[in-house]
Amino acid sequence: MAAEEVWSKLPPDLLGLIMAKLSLDDHLHLTSICRHYHRTKSFNLSSPAPSSPWLIFPGSSSISLKFLPQAKTTPYEAIIPSPFIRRRLFICSSNGWLVTVSCNPSLDLHLLNPLTGTQHPLPPIHTLPFITPIPNKPNSSSVHYRITIYKTFDHHSFMDYFFTKAVISTKDFTVLLAHPNHNNATLSYTRPNHSKWVSFVIPGHHHDAVDVIHDKGLFYAITSVGDIIICGPSSTTRVLSFQIPLIMEIEDSSSTLYIVRSVHGDLLLVQRRILEFKTRMFMVYMIEGHKNNDQSYWKRVDDLGKQCLFLGNNESMAFSVLKHPELQRNCIYFTESRTQNKSVSYRQPKQCDLGVFNLGDTSIKPLFYPSDLTWPPPIWFTPHIEGSHQ
C-alpha cells in the first residue's frame, strides 16, 4: 500500500502522536511525498538543534514550495494550502514563519508556517489611515491604491512600492512592517487577531525604514540614513542617530542597507552595492564610540570572525560557524532583495542574484539553485516547528 494511502487512513489523534516523534528530516520527507499531513495542525513536533537557514524556492506546482538545507543537494517539497503560493510575494521570513502578500487586487496578507501549512490572515493593508483602495469600475475586481492625496498605484505597483520588509516577534506574533515614510510613519504593526494596522508616528522623522529585526522583545529598524529606530510591541521607544562614514554619505540608489544582531550581541549595519540587478559588494559597519550620544558613529568592519550573515527578504541573521560547521566564516549569504523583485519574475534562474560573498577577499561564489522558476523569489528560512510556534 502506498504511503499516501496509509497516511490518509490514520485518525487525526494517531497522526499527532506519530508526528510528535518524527525528526525534522523525517517530517519533511513525509510531507514531500504525502499531502495528508495537513490534516493535523496542532501537533507538537520535536525539533533537533536549531538549523542554519534553508533556501525556499518555487515547487513543481502552483501549490508547493521546495526547501534546501545548506548541507544537502536534494530539496524537500511541501504542499501549501490555498491561496496558491505561486501567486504570492514573500515580504518576510522570520522565526519559522513567512509573511506573504497575494498578487491579487485585494493584496491579502497571511502569516504562513510553510512546514506545517498553518496560516493566519492579517488585516487588510488599507486599514492604515493614509491608504485608500479605489475600485476602477462598479463590479470590477481591479483596484487602485491611493496613498494620502497625491500618489495612486495599481495593485501590482503598490505591492512593489509599499511592502519593504516585515519581521515577526516570537512571543505574541506581532508583525512589524517597514514601508515608505508617510505622515511621519515608516513602521506599522498588527497581530493576527487585530482588525487593522497601526502606525508608529515619529514626529519630525522623515526617513524610510529599510530593514527590521526583532531581538529580546524589541524591534530594531535601520533607516535609509543609518539611524536606528527602536520600538516596543506597540510603542516607539527612541531613535538613535549615528555619524555615518563618508563612503555612505553619497546618495546611491543602488545600495540597500540591513541591520543585523551579531552572534556577540553587537548591532551591525550592512551596505549592499547592486549594479544592474546584481550584487557587487558588501560593506559591514559596527557602532563605535560612546553609544547613545552624538559621538557614536558607524565604523567599518573587515572581518566577521567565526560568524556569517544571511541577508535578503528574510529577517537579517548571524550564525556561528562553530555551531554550524556547514557554513563559511566571514561570509555573507544573500538572496534577492525587495529592491530587485520587480523584474525577477522575468528572469532565468541563472540571472537570480544569490550567492556567498567573502568579506576577506571580496569574492562572490554562486549558490546552488535547483529550480527553473524564479517566482516567488528565493528566500532564506530558519525552520521552527515547536508547539509554541503553531
pLDDT band at 59 (very low <50, low <70, confident <90, very high): confident
- Dump the DSSP string for 82-143: SSPGGGEEEEEEETTEEEEEESSTT--EEEE-TTT--EEE---GGGSTTEEEEESSTT---E
pLDDT, average across residues 254-282: 88
Question: Mean pLDDT over residues 158-169, rounded?
Answer: 91
Computed over its alpha carbons, how large is the radius of gyration of the chain? 21
pLDDT of residue 99: 93
Judged against a pLDDT cut of 80, whether residue 143 lies above it is answered with yes
**Whether the Cβ atoms of residue 250 and residue 353 lie closer than 8 Å to each other:** no
The domain limits of the chain are: 49-389
Q: For residues 264 and 70, which has the higher predicted lDDT (pLDDT)?
A: 264
Task: Give tens-digit pLDDT for 85-114.
Answer: 878 889 989 888 999 998 888 899 999 888
278 bridge partner residues: 275
Between CA 370 and CA 390 the distance in angstroms is 29
- Please give the single-letter amino acid code of residue 224: S
Q: Which amino acid is present at 30?
A: L
pLDDT per position as a tens digit, 316-333: 999 999 999 989 999 999
Cell matching residue 105: 487586487
What rounded mean pLDDT belongs to the chain?
A: 79
In which band, very low, low, confident or very high, does the pLDDT at 387 lie, cut at 50, 70 and 90? very low
Q: Residue 286: in which H helix or E strand, if any?
A: strand 278-288
* One CATH from 2.20.28, 1.10.10, 3.30.70, 2.120.10 for 49-389: 2.120.10
Percentage of the chain exceeding pLDDT 90: 28
What does pTM read for this prediction? 0.84
| Residue 306, pLDDT above cutoff 80 | yes
> pLDDT band at residue 39, thresholds of 50, 70 and 90?
very low
Predicted pLDDT of residue 389: 35
Q: What is the pLDDT of residue 60?
A: 81
* CB 45 within 8 Å of CB 373: no
| CB atoms near residue 349 (< 10 Å) | 15
**For residue 124, what are the contacts with CB-CB under 8 A and spacing of at least 6?**
106, 107, 108, 109
* Chain centre to alpha carbon of residue 155: 21
